[in-house]
Amino acid sequence: MAVITFPKPLQKLVREFSKLPTVGEKTATRLAYHLVQNDPGLVESLAHALLEAKEGITFCDRCFFFAEESRCALCEDESRDRSLLCVLEKPMDLISIEKMGEYKGTYHILHGLWAPLRGKGPESMKLQELVDRVKEGEVKEVILATSATVEGDATALYIARTLEELGVSTTRLAQGMPKGGELEYADEVTLSKAFSGRNLLSA
Q: Please write the tens of the pLDDT for every residue from 16-55.
A: 999 998 899 999 999 998 888 887 888 899 999 999 988 8
CB within 8 Å of 61: residues ≥ 6 apart: 70, 71
For residues 181 and 124, state if they share a domain.
yes
CATH number assigned to the domain comprising residue 134: 3.40.1360.10
Other CB atoms within a 10 A radius of the CB of residue 129 amount to: 17
| pTM, full prediction | 0.82
Q: How many CA atoms lie within 13 A of 187 on its CB side?
A: 2
Does residue 160 lie within any of the structural domains?
yes
pLDDT class of 3 with cuts at 50, 70, 90: low
Task: Kindly state whether residue 116 falls inside one of the protein's structural domains.
Answer: yes
The predicted structure's pLDDT at residue 5? 75
Are both 51 and 107 inside the same structural domain? Answer: no
Do residue 80 and residue 122 come from a single domain? Answer: yes
The Cα 7–Cα 1 span in angstroms is: 19
Q: Are residues 105 and 168 in the same domain?
A: yes
Alpha helix stretches (DSSP H) within 136-187: 150-163
The pLDDT tens digits of the residues spanning 124-167 come to 899 999 999 999 999 999 999 998 888 998 999 999 999 998 98
Does residue 66 sit within a domain? no
* pLDDT tens sequence across 178-201: 555 677 777 788 888 888 888 888
Residues 107 and 12 reside in one and the same domain? no
CB 97 within 8 A of CB 86: yes
> Rounded to the nearest 5°, which phi and psi values hold at 15?
-60, -40
> How far is CA 111 from each of CA 94, 163, 186, 197, rounded to the nearest angstrom?
12, 18, 19, 25
**Domains in the chain, number:** 2
How would you label 19-28 residue by residue, b for 16+ Cβ within 10 Å and e otherwise? eeeeeeeeeb
The pLDDT tens digits for 65-76 are 999 999 999 999
Please report the pLDDT score of residue 179 as a whole number.
55
Q: Which amino acid is at 76?
A: E
Burial of residue 108 (CB within 10 Å: 0-12, 13-18, 19+) is buried
Does residue 23 share a domain with residue 49? yes
- Considering the domain boundaries, does residue 191 fall inside one? yes
Query: Residue 35 maps to which CATH number?
Result: 1.10.8.420
Continuous H helices in 101-201 = 127-135, 150-163, 188-196
- Per the structure, the complete domain to which residue 173 belongs is given by 74-202
- Tell me, what's the pLDDT at 61? 96
